[in-house]
Amino acid sequence: MFLSPSTPAGWLMLGARVRMERLRPDDERGASTLEFVIITAVLVALAGAVGWIIYEFVMGQAESLSEPDLPGD
């Protein structure tokens, strides 16, 4: 149910929501941000490790190729 803040009932509901938000502990407000930063750092490290493994594999395969025979040689 949506009540416009311009109505008396809506204004009272808005005030109640503001008071309830202030009652929440402060330490929980930043938890989602910290979790996001940690998860992002883990994913970046994982992507870097996978990229390094792929790079090393491709470079190893490239070194094992022989030079092609060019026409006229």
pLDDT (tens digit, 9 = 90+) per residue, 29-67? 566 777 888 999 999 999 999 999 999 999 999 888 888
| 24/53: higher pLDDT | 53
Residue 19 counted as domain residue: no
Domain span at 55: 31-64
The phi, psi pair for 70, rounded to 5°, reads: -90, 145
Report if residue 18 sits inside a domain. no
**Is 3:13 a contact under the CB 8 Å cutoff?**
yes
Residue 57 within any structural domain of the chain: yes
Residue 39, amino acid:
I
Residue 10 lies in a domain: no
Question: Number of folded domains in the chain?
Answer: 1
Residue 3 belongs to some domain of the structure: no
What global pTM score does this model have? 0.49
CB-CB contact of 38 with 30 (8 Å): no
